[in-house]
Amino acid sequence: MTNLSSNQLKQYEDKGFVSPINIFSKEKAKEIRKEIEIIENEIPSELNKSGRYNAHLISPLLDEVTHNSKILDKVQSIIGENILVCGTTLFIKNPNEKGFVSYHQDAKYIGLEPRNWVTAWVAITDSNEKKWMYENVVRIT
């Protein structure tokens, strides 16, 4: 088990997030991106329905991402070992598309109680602070 370090826990307490955490190799990230592209091309209607918010149910590979022990170990450091994955959301931003998601508290909109939960944002394309809200992201809640 690889928990968060004391510095990462402090960052979480102070800023409400921990970043960066390297989870996947570049090769695995490319495999995940290719899977999302296959879904976009072969069953695009799934991304307009509940599949967008439960991507782990339409793809074994995305289900594997959702249950990745490196991610879950980090989450366990924050909320403990009783982890329930509520859902996965694909945020897909194609090249040259404009888009923005402002800072917000998911708990306010999702309505889960108690609010002792976290969201794992997994970027599967190169990203930096400026690009973060605009790239391909798998969100695990």
Domain boundaries, the chain: 6-140
**45-99 residue pLDDT tens:** 888 877 778 889 999 999 999 999 999 999 999 888 888 888 888 877 777 777 7
Q: What is the pTM of this model?
A: 0.79
Asked whether residue 135 carries a pLDDT value surpassing 50, the answer given is no
> Which is the CATH superfamily of the domain at 6-140?
q2cbj1_9rhob like domain (2.60.120.620)
Sign of the dihedral through C-alpha 129, 135, 138, 141: positive
- Report pLDDT for 134: 42
Asked whether residue 132 carries a pLDDT value surpassing 70, the answer given is no
Please state, for a pLDDT cut of 70, what percent of the chain lies above it. 81
Query: If 0-12 CB within 10 Å is exposed, 13-18 middle and 19+ buried, where does residue 104 land?
Result: exposed
Write the CA distances from 89 to 2, 20, 44, integer angstroms.
25, 20, 15
- Report pLDDT for 42: 93
